Amino acid sequence: MNSASMTLFFKYQTLGFTLLFLVLAHTLLGQNQFATTTVTLDEVAVEAVKISGAATQLPLAVSVRNFEVVSSDKQQLSLQEYLSNIPGLFTLNASNYAQDLRISIRGFGARAAFGIRGIKLVVDGIPETTPDGQGQVDNLPLGLIQRIEVLRGPSASLYGNASGGVLYINTLDELSDQKALIRTSIGAFGNFGLQAMAGVNSAKTKAVFYLNNTRSNGYRVQSGLAQSVLNAKVKHRFSDQSVLTGQLNYTASPLAEDAGGLTLDEVQQDRRQARARNVDYKTYEKVNQLKTGLRYEQKWGDHWTWDSYAFYSFRDFYGTLPFENGGIVDLFRNYVGLGSRLNFTQKSTTLRHEWQLGFETALQNDQRDRYNNMLGEQGALSFSQLESFGNISFYIVDALSFEKWLLRGALRFDRQKIGADSVDRSQIYNALNPSLGISYQILPKQRIFVSLGSSFETPTLSELSADPSGKEGLNLQLDPARAMNYELGWKSLGNRSSLEANLFYVRSSNEILPYELEAFPGRTFYRNGGATERYGFELQWEQHWKQWDWLLSLSQAKYVFETAMSQDKPKAIPGIPKQQASFELRYHSTKDWSWQLSGNHNAAFFANDANTIEIDDYRVFKLQTSKTFSFDWGHIQGFVGVNNLFNSTYFDNIRLNAFGGRYYEPAPGRHFFGGLAFGF
């Protein structure tokens, strides 16, 4: 056995012993009875899989996180705060508000230069991701997030384009035991937040109205933020059989500055400085966005349900980049869509059969104008075109449960039409994506599962319009990326604990990768990068014992370019660590105190395709506490916390394949936050 094989053997032997220890701990802690234990875990129904099913029974890797939003002690500056302890999921860029959070799941989404790519976002049952695969979270009402479901694998058979993973977010329907909440928070770097909520809770109507205002100077020079979010959600129940939900979201962000990437020498000189060109060209963005939608759910007897939605949104975006030619982007987007699905359920004492037929369509029109950036001032128009991306899809999902078996299958057809007023012809992409999963109950509340599923990802309009020639039109040489995912896993649910472990293998082709050119420093272009292989192990463990809550996740994986497998050293996909570990330990006292310690470990990863620039591994810890005081009129909650508890030195973001070595965006050191919330 050679040294490489020995290393691999001992690595996975250690992993096996770790898994064995966790299984034993889960069994002992999950089954023993304690007189003071108040938490009993129940089966969690997952909505994101179209046909709702219990998380421990589903034949796929899924993570569910619930949040006590009204009493939350989170700082609520970034969605990153809600996505810790999810195996296989990696985030960067929480502190650069102009570039938005970068989210990757098993490598899908890692290429994003800004915003979210390759991951489907759904909020309250309505798509947030555009049909071309672009997503952003700058308009999310973070203070209202009640639940997040994460499908950790390709899900194109359910959601179509850019569904390498799915974030399915539900917000509050009601404020339960109170009618209003006012919350204020302060923190390092001039962070300030003011939030107000009001609720209506009658026999047939529930509503939540939310307003949030956030200000920050940012950790680095020229990294400030000013943002306001207004959100309304109204749910009216006509009868026990029919419900109508309306939602409205308006986001106004007049300022989100971009400090830019630094070289390593510049980082060592001053971590908080901005890139000189970003200062000279006054790089920032401003956004106004409106989204409104309706969702109607109807039941007919015990067998039939009908669920439909329709929505409209516009996004008015203006951003400056650190170069002259085309360095100002003025984008106005109209986005409209609707979908409908019919569900049939038949069940007996030994069998449950459920199928669903669905239809979805969406249209996105982007008016993209580029102007010369004259040191922060708008110059002459250099580029202008109206781009469109339309989608129409049909799908079927089938689930059959009998005795100890559960079989789930899905098939979806998508047709995309891409065009621009500056090109003579439209581009058509057709895709047919299947999935199949089987789970089997080996013991009461313990199952094993196996599944396969496919995905595809077209280039987004912003990527297609980034033509290296600098001319108008679309870079139609970019091809869609495709992938197939295979999983094998085990799930267990105890009285106070749950455990899931799985192995996955993903093979993709035509990966879309970012790069920069010397002629356009700071602007990102895209190219197809061949095939990749991704394989690894994921584990998540949740435990409740007396007043203690424990959550742990582990990921050990490899993400490599398949075209490099014949070389001495395979090239890793940049921007993704091969190893991640995170934990959260929370203690609830009987006197309304709550304490929480959390930590994340991320292994080293590469910043470029050539794997010549490696980013060191790092660990970040967070400590926070809150105390609630109850009165006849309501309650007051105070909370304080410290981020980066041990003052680790690491990078908040890495700009992949950046020209001139400007890969690095430093993260802040130890810093504090706190606040008060008043509930009435």
pLDDT band, very low/low/confident/very high, at 530 (cuts 50, 70, 90): confident
Residue 364 lies in a domain: yes
Spatial contact of 46 and 52, defined as CB atoms under 8 Å apart = yes
Q: What is the pLDDT of residues 372-409, one digit of tens each?
A: 999 999 999 999 999 999 999 999 999 999 999 999 99
pLDDT at 9: 38
Per-residue pLDDT, 69: 53
Model confidence pLDDT, tens digit, residues 626-677: 999 999 899 999 999 999 999 999 999 999 888 889 999 999 999 999 999 9
pLDDT at residue 34, rounded to an integer: 36
Nearest to 462 by CA among 181, 52, 133, 168: 133
Q: What is the pLDDT of residue 116?
A: 87
Q: How many domains does the chain have?
A: 1
Q: Determine the pLDDT at residue 31.
A: 45
Tokens linked to 626? 């809150």
Query: Residue 283: is its pLDDT beyond 80?
Result: yes
Query: How high is the pLDDT of residue 40?
Result: 53
* Identity of the residue numbered 85: N
Q: Which residue has the tokens 């060592």?
A: 268
CA-CA distance, 510 to 529, in Å (whole number)?
Answer: 6
Decide if 246 is inside a domain: yes
Q: Which of 6-15, 41-50, 474-483, 628-637 has the lowest mean pLDDT?
A: 6-15
Q: Is residue 185 part of a domain?
A: yes
Question: Which among 176, 97, 110 is positioned nearest to 142, based on CA atoms?
Answer: 97
- Residue-level pLDDT at 407: 97
**Which element (helix H / strand E) includes 67?**
none
The three state secondary structure string of 464-523 is: HCCCCCCCCCCCCCCCCEEEEEEEEEEEEECCCEEEEEEEEEEEEECCEEEEECCCCCCC
CA distance 45 to 209: 26
Per-residue tokens: 361: 């369509």
Q: Measured between alpha carbons, how far is 59 from 339 in angstroms, rounded to an integer?
A: 25
Confidence of residue 438 (pLDDT cuts 50, 70, 90): very high
Asked if residue 23 is part of any domain, the answer here is no
Q: CATH number of the domain that 324 lies in?
A: 2.40.170.20
Phi, psi of 219 (to 5 degrees): -70, -40
User: Quick check: is 62 in a domain?
Assistant: yes
- Beta bridge partners, 490, equal 448, 501
The CA-based angle 318-193-623, given to 5 degrees, is 115
Give the mean model confidence (pLDDT) for residues 197-205.
92
pLDDT, average across residues 545-569: 82
Q: What CA–CA distance (Å, rounded) separates 96 from 284?
A: 10
Q: How far apart are CA 564 and CA 352, in angstroms?
A: 47
Q: How confident is the model at residue 590 (pLDDT cuts 50, 70, 90)?
A: confident
Residue 379: inside a domain? yes
Report the residue count for the chain.
Answer: 680
Scan for tokens 């249209």, then name that residue.
363
| Residue 358 Cα distances to 69, 163, 215, 436, angstroms | 32, 17, 42, 17
Distance in angstroms (rounded) separating the CA atoms of residues 237 and 244: 6
Q: How far apart, in Å, do the first and last CA atoms of the chain sit? A: 68
Domain limits for position 259: 33-679
Instruction: Please report whether residue 12 resides in a domain.
Output: no
